[in-house]
Amino acid sequence: MIYNYGSINIDYIYHVPYFVRPGETQRCDGHSVGLGGKGANQSLSIACANGLVSHWGRVSSKDAWAVEELKRAGVNVCDIELTQQPSGHAVVQIDEQGENSIILFPGVNHGAEKERLAFLLSKVKSGDTLLVQNECDGLGYIIPLAVSHGCNVIFNPAPMTADVSELPLDQCKLLFFNRTEAASLLEMPIESSASDLLRKLRNKLGSAEIVLTLGSEGAWYLYNSETYFQAALPVRAIDTTAAGDTFVGYFLAARQAGAEPFECLKRATAAAALAVQYRGAASSIPKAEEVDRLMRQEGM
């Protein structure tokens, strides 16, 4: 089982010609409200890929519809806590190239008590997987505690913050980075080559498995001397908001089903290629049948 201690956000999405500049007021071309948050997106992606996932998170009781949406997708929601405090939310600008700019308010994604986290971890079995991102707090507590329970911890340090380097990253089994996150952690230029980033990540993280996603430049998997590369599929991006979360979820669902790393890379790449062609976060995550169809078409 994959247990995902992750954020649940309400996304307020605005489609704009370009990102608003300081002092500027700009009319948007479209607006929508929907389920988001890196945690919720990754749980949805795992479920859409036919994986087994249980979500641990918190959301305002006023936004209980978000929990129902996760449940309908096949996510186990029994351990999602409804609170009286405001939910996390994000204000998302999406420009004409499909790139996004996000303001994030954590809300009740922050503030989980240690006793609650310890209770949740009491349910896991040795060999289970704990997935975490960086939109919930308490990571410095839950990562080593999960390892002590025999969990394989998988970490996607997004959004990247300075305190990520203080976390016990060496206790993680697998870490997902994009170019910006890797360069930030390593204090390297954003334009650094993939080979340099991978080499420095291996030096820093020791025996952990590493996945490095580079958007249109493809994705890499590294573990000891084992290295795989998967080229990106040539598509026109409309909205990249949940592409990374889609990649993570499909990779982990394929891994859970027993696929080899290079097969996980292929499936995750195909899923992300579909996700960027649709608007929205949770609403852009493709179903397994769509990914199967694309992979057949592309001979993957």
Q: Which residue in 210, 20, 246, 222 sits closest to 254, CA to CA?
A: 246
Q: Return the amino acid letter for 196.
A: D
Catalytic residue among 11, 63, 239, 245: 245
Q: How far apart are the C-alpha atoms of 127 and 117, rounded to whole Å? A: 18
Identify any residues that bridge with 213 across adjacent strands, giving them in sequence order: 178, 219
The verdict on whether 245 is a catalytic residue reads: yes
Q: Which two tokens stand for residue 73?
A: 């997708």
What residues are annotated to the active site?
245
